[in-house]
Amino acid sequence: MTTRLAARIARRELRGGLTGFRIFLLCLALGVAAIAAVGTLRAAIQSGLEDQGAALLGGDAQMEFTYRFADAEELAFMDRTATRRSEVVDFRSMAVIADDSALTQIKAVDANYPLYGTVTLDPPIPLADALATKGGLPGAALDPVLIARLSLNIGDTFTLGTQTFRLTAAVIREPDSSGGFTLGPRTIIRTDALAASGLLAPGSLYETEYRLALPPGTNLQQLEDQAKATFREKGMSWSDSRRAAPGIDEFVDRIGSFLVLVGLAGLAVGGVGISAAVRSYLDGKIATIATLKTIGAEGRLIFRIYLFQILVLAGIGIVAGLILGAGIPMLFSPIIEAQLPFPADIALAPMPLIEAAFYGLITALLFTLWPLARTETVRAAALYRGGDGQRARPRGIYIAALLGLALILVGGSVYLSGIPELALGAAGGILGSLLVLALTAYGMRRLARRTARSGLTRGRVPLRLALGSIGGARSEATSVILSLGLGLSVLAAVGQIDSNLRNSIEQDLPERAPAFFFVDIQPDQIDPFLASMANNPAVTKVDSAPMLRGVVTMINGKPATEVTDHWVVRGDRGLTYADTPPEGTKITAGKWWPEGYTGDPQVSFAAEEAAEIGLKLGDTITVNILGRDITATITSFRDVNFSTAGIGFVMSLNAAALQGAPHTFISTVYAPPEAEGQLLKDVTKTWTNITAIRIREAIDRVTEALGAIATATAWAAAATLLTGFVVLIGAAAAGERARVYEAAILKTLGATRGRILASFALRSALMGAAAGSVAVIAGAIAGWAVMTFVMDATYRFEPVSAFAIVIGGILATLLAGLAFALRPLSARPAQVLRTQD
């Protein structure tokens, strides 16, 4: 009965319409929309990857080998199971013209390529024609970026290694390119054209991928198990169309989860607005509540009446948010799908919408429960005594419910995001920021009250008025500082992280980093190469090391992937050998093998990675190199610093263990930027097979990739800030009536409009500055935490973005505050004061 009665009364109460709830609905809808949009896009990409799995992979399944081609046994297995097979060789090299050269990622293919889909070229000719040999010169199709970089025209020639190729077309789209990160733009050629290039010499860094077209209905899991059981120990890695692009899948999943967390921060900002809106609505309802009490309504009934109303409103806000969040991506799907580097299939996806609705509902309840619970404590005496009549704290059960809701929200985000550490960190950050902001607002109000009463403001009327209203009973300071502060905190954190990352890549790294990585230096070339470098006066330092690639297959005799999922055991790794510890080696535990050691293989492992995997001295590591297993005992740990872009290998074996295996050398060369061009020419002219990776160009590629992530994050942060601004507008609008009254009295007492405006502006600026300052501190802490614990890099406070945040905060509150100053300034005092009587 009580529930039905509550619902009936609530329905009558809602007849007043939704006018008082615009801010409530906007805040909730914006927050839900941001999360729903991110979720819809994530689902779209995942479904796109699933649908086009085979085309993306280039086959129903793929067997991949590092450093070598498949042997007869492996080829026989493929031919037994597949209806068609295509071989692709993938490696980096230099495309060279008369006086220039550029790094390129070569894809050498056979006649069966591509098994699925087609390669789009410009001019639109078939791939077979583009790659055909004409006039003794094999054809090649190049990425337009590479064509522009080398200023080539169709029909021009260039060399790869010692083989000359003819440019026949630009590659517009490869069906099996999923937009993964590569250092060099693409070149497509025929594998047999490489025979005379000298590029695939033993030890060169290349990968072979065998794409298989399987009969319909093939059990992929069974086939994978079979292939792995037979060939994994020979260094084969398997992928199939079920997860064609695990890298992208994981990347999209993580970025999506991260953006949902940013969206949650937006929802928390909105929560502040929701709470303020409900508080102000219920303040206006005190007479009604007291009347209800007078005629016999119990506190519980009153709570339910208003809970019903909030649930109905939350429902409206959430549905609006879901329509917006799912609708915008669908509406703009052609544009979005064209912009994304991977396939996306934008459609109505229920799961992300359920997730967004869950977050919306819990947030709405979390931020309204406190004011709702306080309706119980409104006393009937409020009717004749005035005031709000509700100073008591809500009952314990409501406080317990609040904590429960907070736990459900945090638990939900931890579970749904799939990145528990980041979700917990974000939740902690949001809660911590809210707490600090609430304390700041409280402190600011107290300080404002005291200062307004002190002698300091004597003679400074605008200041005293501003401080008086910040410290006053109906001050909007708390909701302004909370909402704007939280919105700016997210933006400040993004700004700090972004500029720190950019700085560490663009400024710090090149100072310490070499100018070039030279790879694929054959053993007989290393001595002349080093001699040439030594004779070059521009070269300040050269480091070199032998390099092989292998897959860690076993740890202490157990399959490595069962022991850990650390990046070291995922895919193939570079490894090196040395007889004596290279200069500057710092052994942290154990002992390096004696010089000239020829006994059982020993390995020195990178200390940090070893600790992460849980390795200890005496453990054994089995590495598969070119199909051969080498098992070595860990006899020492050493410090390896990957952040300087110098040569760093996780594993270094004793020389005798690997010297016999085919390998090449890697060399880092340090030289000033102005000498880089000539150095590159000298090396690529003399040794055509050597690949040069210019660090400066590589950094540009990394920065580009990072820029895309930063842009996505900035969009999500902008949604947060937009919500914050809505809350600001709401707070300013809520204070308008009080300000009209205040301005009327001031005018009666002789204050000019200029003075009144100055007081309003001062009040807004003070609140904005407080919110901005807290945001800078919160952003710096978040930036430090992410740089230190997630990026493993050093953090440096970035004053420019921080300064911009404070200024932005002041401007935003000024804008919102002054937008609502017009009516107070223009109202005629007599009108206002007569109404007030």
Partner 1 sequence: MTDPILVLTDARLTLQGNAGPVNILKGISLSISRGESVGLVGPSGSGKSSLLMLMGGLERASGGSVMALGQDLTAMDEDALARFRRGNMGVVFQSFHLIPTMTALENVALPMELANVTDAFARAEAELVAVGLGPRLHHYPSQLSGGEQQRVALARAAAPRPAILLADEPTGNLDGVNGQAIMDLLFGLRDQHGATLVLVTHSAELAARCDRVVRLADGNLAPELKAAAE
Give the binding site for partner 1 (CB under 8 A): 1, 5, 8-9, 12-16, 287-288, 290-301, 379-381, 383-385
Please report, as a single letter, which amino acid is at residue 632: A
Residue 833 CB, nearest distance to partner 1 (Å)? Answer: 20
Our CB check for partner 1 shows the closer of 1 and 800 to be 1
Our CB check for partner 1 shows the closer of 5 and 745 to be 5
Would you say 771 and 479 are in contact if contact means Cβ atoms under 8 Å apart? Answer: no
Residue 354 CB, nearest distance to partner 1 (Å)? Answer: 33
Our CB check for partner 1 shows the closer of 78 and 292 to be 292
Our CB check for partner 1 shows the closer of 20 and 327 to be 20
Residue 387 CB, nearest distance to partner 1 (Å)? Answer: 11
Burial of residue 325 (CB within 10 Å: 0-12, 13-18, 19+) is: buried
Tell me if residue 638 falls in helix, strand or coil.
strand
Our CB check for partner 1 shows the closer of 387 and 614 to be 387
Strands of 626-762, DSSP E: 628-638, 651-654, 664-670, 691-694
Burial of residue 112 (CB within 10 Å: 0-12, 13-18, 19+) is: middle
Angle between helices 736-748 and 461-471 (to 10 degrees): 150
Cβ count near 324 (within 10 Å): 16
Please report, as a single letter, which amino acid is at residue 160: L
Q: Which two tokens stand for residue 341?
A: 């580097």
Our CB check for partner 1 shows the closer of 14 and 589 to be 14
Residue 298 CB, nearest distance to partner 1 (Å)? Answer: 4
Cβ count near 433 (within 10 Å): 26
Would you say 557 and 620 are in contact if contact means Cβ atoms under 8 Å apart? Answer: yes
Residue 385 CB, nearest distance to partner 1 (Å)? Answer: 8
Our CB check for partner 1 shows the closer of 300 and 828 to be 300
Our CB check for partner 1 shows the closer of 293 and 573 to be 293
* 272/479 Cα distance (integer angstroms): 6
Residue 295 CB, nearest distance to partner 1 (Å)? Answer: 4
Alpha carbon 237 to its chain centroid, in Å, reads 28
Residue 293 CB, nearest distance to partner 1 (Å)? Answer: 5
Residue 1 CB, nearest distance to partner 1 (Å)? Answer: 6
The Cα-based distances of 158 to 126, 145, 383, 616 in angstroms read 21, 15, 91, 51
Cβ count near 397 (within 10 Å): 9
Our CB check for partner 1 shows the closer of 378 and 548 to be 378
Q: Which two tokens stand for residue 73?
A: 């046994």
Minimal CA–CA distance to 390: which of 271, 282, 274? Answer: 282
Residue 400 CB, nearest distance to partner 1 (Å)? Answer: 20
Would you say 552 and 569 are in contact if contact means Cβ atoms under 8 Å apart? Answer: yes
Would you say 416 and 355 are in contact if contact means Cβ atoms under 8 Å apart? Answer: yes
Tell me if residue 549 falls in helix, strand or coil.
strand
Would you say 131 and 189 are in contact if contact means Cβ atoms under 8 Å apart? Answer: yes
Residue 320 CB, nearest distance to partner 1 (Å)? Answer: 23
Our CB check for partner 1 shows the closer of 386 and 677 to be 386
Q: H or E element: which one contains 240?
A: strand 237-240
Would you say 59 and 113 are in contact if contact means Cβ atoms under 8 Å apart? Answer: no
Our CB check for partner 1 shows the closer of 12 and 458 to be 12
Residue 11 CB, nearest distance to partner 1 (Å)? Answer: 10
